[in-house]
Structure 1
Amino acid sequence: MEKFHIVSALCRQVVKDGASKEVMSQMDRLHEALQEDGFTDEALVIKRLIDKADKTKMIEPSKVNLSRVSHLKGQVLTPNSKVPVDKDSGSPLARIIFPDELINQEQPIFPAELSGAIGQLVNEWENIGKLERFGVKPSLSCLLFGMPGTGKTQLALYIAKMLGLPVVLAKLDGLVSSLLGTSARNITNLFKFAAQHRCLLLLDEFDAVAKARNDSQEVGEIKRIVNSLLQCIDERANQGMTIAITNHEVLLDPAVWRRFDVRVFVPKPDLKGREMIIRKYLKPLELSDEKVKLLSLITENYCGSDIELLVTHFKRHTALSEDSVQFIKIVRSLLTINASTTSELATYVRDNTDSSVMYKLNKDSGFTQREIGNIFETSLSKVSRSIREKDKLTV
């Protein structure tokens, strides 16, 4: 069996591409023949490939879920659908995310008015047929913009989950080639693929290909790319749903901006949102209300991903501390290693003495003396004494 590695490689590729019943029957015969001839190790390799093929067949039907969006044209995306590739590098132009991969996708924590607007948008997309009966075209294109880490990609995936649609996720910065004409061709091929299937086309890093054509720093190629993109977006307007994401909306060409019926600004979380995010990522660790409130106040200007990172660091520090460490000491340590993203209160807490911070929290942030005692894990009398002494100094 010197050439068995070639046989096994062929079988592995066949299983990957989706083996037919006839091919599986031949693989079964090969497995039995190997066993009979005493090649137990080789037989085991083929058996594992057969088992893998059987599992794939069991999984595939769940990936061909019926969309909750009616009246969308196109073929159903399956694991065997061939994603277009860059002809020069061979890299795929997109990644397919199936509905069953989005089961645990949650809506990011947003202000109530934004969550309500997203709910209305999803409801509109779920009822395309009703709109068409009244002669109204749905808004099938949406631009999500805002600071990095605010949850734009999470939101797009959540919308896809609610609609029961697979996602064709394209990182547009990966479509841009140094070879003239290749970038525009990649964009055209991507949109053609999306047009053939019932899906949500998600264009991440959108500003990579949608830059303003009057940018003096760009060569003529960017104009060809944007012109191709405009044409593709116009054609897709009557074919399927598109969501584009950018962190740099000011770089977008005005003509591209106008192509989107819905433009949603995704903001940094407000105070209530920050508190909800902190409580979400703290689990299974629990903190008192006043400690969570302090974390919420000092994370002003933080994006959701910044808060998640801070809470993760907090949990690590707590888990690795052999002895009980004061909450405020851990907070100061975290603010030191996250110094690039700080609010005025965060800087004050990090750089001042306990008594000064106690005074500020009481006078400026509305914490009671009892709450401050819990934050600093000290007695109420010590807090009262520190605040009285600061009061004397300020007179």
Structure 2
Amino acid sequence: MDNFPTVLAICRTAMRTPNPTLTRNIGKLRDALSKQGLEDQAEALSLVLKAKQATDTLAPTRVALATATRERMSRSVHAPVDKESGAPLASIVFPEDAETGLEPILEVALSKAIAALVAEWQSASMLIEAGIRPPLNLLLYGAPGTGKTALAKVIAAQMELPLVTARLDGLISSFLGTTARNIANLFEFADRYDCILLLDEFDAVAKVRDDPHELGEIKRVVNTLLQCLDERRERGFTIAITNHEHLLDAAIWRRFDSRVAIPRPGAESRVRMVSRFLSGVPVEEVDISLLAWLTDGRSGAEIETLCSSIKRYLVMNGAGRKSLLEALSVNSLLSADHSGSPRQAIFAEGSEALARRLSSDEEIRFTQESMARLFNTTQSTISRWLRK
């Protein structure tokens, strides 16, 4: 189902004040998705229904943690600032201001796991009442452009909590002791309010303490960060993001209840991404398949960049079979360094070489009929190309 994360968030919100009709309709939607083979989406709705049933049995509602008394954040609240420069240490996005329709497209198993984690966060008070410590922090790591920050924003929107975002590289000061003080002030601010704290560029501070290239100051900073993370584990939700997980201190890893790798998209996810990013221009299924094939090994951000280039070309030069191939050729020339995308280099070799590669692909199936449509030629021509 398109926009399913938005539908899921609406269902979760509505189930806070459920009625028999609402519960029955969510059940019908779950069954319909299951019949369509969308088992991960059906399971996510089942978790919504099960979470409510468990809440009715065990008591507390809402996402308020029983172990902390925190204030509700209003728009008059401002993030703390660096006392030396006056620069804010974080930005604040309220749930009603969060962008919609930009949910990252994840692999099915990963999407299901994230949905389960969010369900646990939403049931934090219930778990505490049952004597179970809920996981309150999450580390997201992976290559740049794989959707880590977008995923954190979606989680905050689903939780209906303000997102306090701090780029840790922005907390670093040249003044001795100021960096550690900035981190302490940031955590003190987040602990005061009902919010999710997002630590972006986490590796900028959470580095290995025995790194010979680092001075003693970074070791003190890491120790401050460890102490703040320990205290916040009982007080509020925290998400940390890094592109360089290998730089993190081992003690930092142990502070996180959940550690999730966000991989580069697989074939199915790339097809869904291309479909989303090319919405608004006339393309066919075989075109989407070709672009999904070309972008093997690329991140979601890189796929979006390619699709934006194609959309610009098609809008300026007119849609059509010839225009799409021309758009790809132009993009291939403008992106001459193909070290990260060897398949795009093959595209530059010509239609015949590309057709032979497509015919042997095991992930995305191309028939002679679809390739004839793709290259705007006949099946007999495609057959001749493949025999060479």
TM-score, length of structure 2 as denominator length: 0.79
For 1:77 and 1:340, how far apart are their aligned partners in 2?
Answer: 47
1:180 aligned onto 2:201: no
Q: Deviations over 1:259-299 (max 9, x none)?
A: 01110111111000000000001011132111111110110
8 A Cα contact 1:105 1:154, kept in partner: no
- TM-superposed CA distance for 1:349, in Å, is 1.6
Find the residue that maps to 1:360 and give its secondary structure: helix
For 1:226 and 1:177, how far apart are their aligned partners in 2?
Answer: 14
1:328 aligned onto 2:322: no
Q: Deviations over 1:125-168 (max 9, x none)?
A: 11112211221011001100000000000111111011110011
For 2:340 and 2:208, how far apart are their aligned partners in 1?
Answer: 32
Percent identity of equivalent pairs: 43
In structure 2, relative to structure 1, the CA distance for the partners of 1:106 and 1:330 (3 Å cut) is closer
Q: Deviations over 1:156-196 (max 9, x none)?
A: 11110111100111011000011110000000000000111
> Which residue is 1:36 aligned to?
none
Unaligned residue ranges in structure 1 (runs of 5+):
1-66, 391-395
Counterpart AA for 2:167? K
8 A Cα contact 1:69 1:164, kept in partner: no
In structure 2, relative to structure 1, the CA distance for the partners of 1:152 and 1:320 (3 Å cut) is same
Counterpart AA for 1:212? V
Unaligned residue ranges in structure 2 (runs of 5+):
1-60
Matches within 5 A, 1:1-20: none
For 1:110 and 1:203, how far apart are their aligned partners in 2?
Answer: 21
Find the residue that maps to 1:137 and give its secondary structure: coil
> Which residue is 1:145 aligned to?
141
TM-score, length of structure 1 as denominator length: 0.78
For 1:233 and 1:364, how far apart are their aligned partners in 2?
Answer: 47
1:109 aligned onto 2:108: no
- TM-superposed CA distance for 1:371, in Å, is 1.0
8 A Cα contact 2:338 2:345, kept in partner: no
Q: Max radius of gyration: which structure?
A: 1
Find the residue that maps to 1:90 and give its secondary structure: coil
8 A Cα contact 2:139 2:260, kept in partner: yes
- TM-superposed CA distance for 1:360, in Å, is 2.7
For 1:266 and 1:314, how far apart are their aligned partners in 2?
Answer: 26
8 A Cα contact 1:85 1:91, kept in partner: yes
Q: 1:348 aligns with which of 333, 336, 346?
A: 346
In structure 2, relative to structure 1, the CA distance for the partners of 1:92 and 1:340 (3 Å cut) is farther
1:288 aligned onto 2:284: yes
8 A Cα contact 1:327 1:375, kept in partner: no
- TM-superposed CA distance for 1:372, in Å, is 1.1
For 1:327 and 1:96, how far apart are their aligned partners in 2?
Answer: 41
In structure 2, relative to structure 1, the CA distance for the partners of 1:278 and 1:341 (3 Å cut) is farther
> Which residue is 1:119 aligned to?
115
8 A Cα contact 1:278 1:292, kept in partner: yes
> Which residue is 1:358 aligned to?
355
Find the residue that maps to 1:203 and give its secondary structure: strand
8 A Cα contact 2:169 2:205, kept in partner: yes
> Which residue is 1:154 aligned to?
150
Counterpart AA for 2:357? K
In structure 2, relative to structure 1, the CA distance for the partners of 1:342 and 1:230 (3 Å cut) is closer
* Matched positions, count: 322
- TM-superposed CA distance for 1:333, in Å, is 2.1
8 A Cα contact 1:369 1:384, kept in partner: yes
Counterpart AA for 1:387? L
Q: After TM superposition, which residue ranges in structure 1, 4 or more long, deviate above 4 angstroms?
A: none
Find the residue that maps to 2:81 and give its secondary structure: coil
> Which residue is 2:64 aligned to?
70
8 A Cα contact 2:310 2:324, kept in partner: no
Find the residue that maps to 1:230 and give its secondary structure: helix
8 A Cα contact 1:200 1:242, kept in partner: yes
> Which residue is 1:14 aligned to?
none
For 2:319 and 2:71, how far apart are their aligned partners in 1?
Answer: 60
Find the residue that maps to 1:243 and give its secondary structure: strand
8 A Cα contact 1:68 1:163, kept in partner: no
In structure 2, relative to structure 1, the CA distance for the partners of 1:363 and 1:148 (3 Å cut) is closer
For 1:129 and 1:166, how far apart are their aligned partners in 2?
Answer: 18
In structure 2, relative to structure 1, the CA distance for the partners of 1:223 and 1:200 (3 Å cut) is same
